[in-house]
Structure 1
Amino acid sequence: MRVAIVTVGDELLVGDTVNTNAAWLGERLHERGVDVERVTTLPDKVADIARVVNEYRAAYDAVLVTGGVGPTHDDMTMDGVAAAFGREVVESQEVLDWLEEAGGYAADDLAEGTADIPRGARLLKNPEGVAPGCVIGNVYVLPGVPTEMKAMFETVADDFAGEVKHVATVVADEPESALLDRIADLRDEFDVTVGSYPGDSVRVKIQGEEAVVEAAATWLRERVELAEVEQ
């Protein structure tokens, strides 16, 4: 399964808010064997959201959009997603019924726009808040507040599945540039995916079928200077 993540918010682009949602979703989807092939951050602009969602919904099995959901002046995501499908944003009776049942909110208690989702979209209930999410086609719209986003994702997590790859990590106490030949040999010798991530040491991540990955990790450990964490 191939997925794109779209995070929406001017505050993400200028660094006022750290984009933890993208990292968390990427990790959870990877755990489920899903290939995350795009992570894109957009401003609170309907046209930008509509353009990217329209492109990604055609290119990927699913698109996860977070942020910009709610009734305030800068919450543009529902409008952008609706525009990508050529639909209107309308007040949903299903949302109103859920808010009344779950939170005791009468329609008159709600800010204008709270119950608005794209016409024909399926409601995603918010276990941790008021703003609803929705599913339209293969696009999932989630809130931007991390606690709300995480709780809502868990209600649809079973929609996302793929082949879970076995992972082994080798931590080398050598410069990344010095490892290039051995990493190339590793790729030639074994049918695995390899990534290298430098820092105080170099973390080499090996993914694939379990027996092959473990053999590849053993092969590499025998050929590099291991960091103390590996010894």
Structure 2
Amino acid sequence: MQAAILTVGDELLAGDTENTNATWLSQQLTERGVTVERVLTVPDELSVIAEATRSYSDSFDAVIVTGGLGRTPDDVTIDGVAAAFDRPLVENDLALADVERTLEAIAGNYPDLDVDAAEEALLPEGSRPLINHAGLSPGCVVENVYVFPGIPPEMKRMFEEVEAEFSGDADSRFVYTDEPEANLIERLDEVQKRFGVKVGCYPDREAGHNRLKLTADDETALSEAEAWLTENVTLAE
């Protein structure tokens, strides 16, 4: 499975908010054997969201979009996804019922809260609603696009509801060496060509070694590559 992650928000592009969602989602998908092919951050502009969503939906098996799902002026993520598939926003009965339950449950703590439940329950026509168990605004699934809230705790909780739908065959092995990165180039080229694996070299300055990452969806090739590399580099102590 190949996936793309699309994070939405002017605050992310301005550096006002750290984009922890992209890192967390990449980790979760990779652990499940999914290959994350793209991570893109776009502004709160409907046309830009729609264009990126449409392009990634055509190119990859799954797309995860995170961004504001409320109905404030800058929350246009749902609108952008709907536009990507030329679908109108319609009131979803399941989403509406959950929004109303949530508003009733928190009414005592927020007596002055003014929320239009019907507006919150607007989703692209024909989409599958995703209930927001950690917040208010629902997410949804449109074809192969999963739309989650931008608030990290809400995003993580919603991902848990559908995590079983993300799986792949990619796996990784790690080899640690004290050798300088420049000295490893020929051997890294060799292991990549010989075994058909992806190779990454990541210096860890604090630990004083290089972390060599081998990735493939063929377990035999991966094991053989790991064994070959282990024998051909000086391993870190």
Q: TM-score, normalised by structure 1?
A: 0.89
Cα pair 1:170 1:205 within 8 Å, conserved: yes
2:115 to 111, 115, 121: 111
Alignment-mate amino acid for residue 111 of structure 1: V
% identical aligned pairs: 48
- What does residue range 91-170 of structure 1 map to in structure 2 within 5 Å? 91-102=91-102, 104=104, 111-112=115-116, 113-165=119-171, 167-170=172-175
Aligned partners of 2:99 and 2:120 also within 8 Å? no
> Higher mean Cα deviation, 141-150 or 94-103?
94-103
Shift of 1:103: 5.0
- Structure 1: how far apart are the matches of 2:214 and 2:59? 27
Relative distance call for 1:63 and 1:188 in structure 2 (3 A) is closer
Which of 166, 185, 203 matches 2:190?
Answer: 185
Q: State whether residues 71 and 111 of structure 1, in contact with CA within 8 Å, keep that contact through their aligned partners in structure 2.
A: no
Match of 1:223 in 2: 232
Q: TM-score, normalised by structure 2?
A: 0.87
CA displacement at 1:104 relative to structure 2: 2.5
For structure 1, list consecutive stretches of 5 or more residues without a partner in the other structure. Answer: none
CA-atom RMSD in angstroms: 2.1
The one-letter code sitting in structure 1 at the alignment partner of 2:184 is L
- 1:213 counterpart (187, 205, 222): 222
* Aligned counterpart in structure 1 of residue 181 of structure 2, from 155, 176, 182: 176
Q: Runs of 5+ in structure 2 lacking a partner?
A: 108-112
Q: Which of 182, 193, 210 does residue 202 from structure 1 map onto?
A: 210
Q: Residue 110 of structure 2 aligns with which residue?
A: none
Amino acid at match of 1:87: R
Aligned-partner residue type, residue 58 of structure 1: D
Distance of 1:196 and 1:170 partners within structure 2: 10
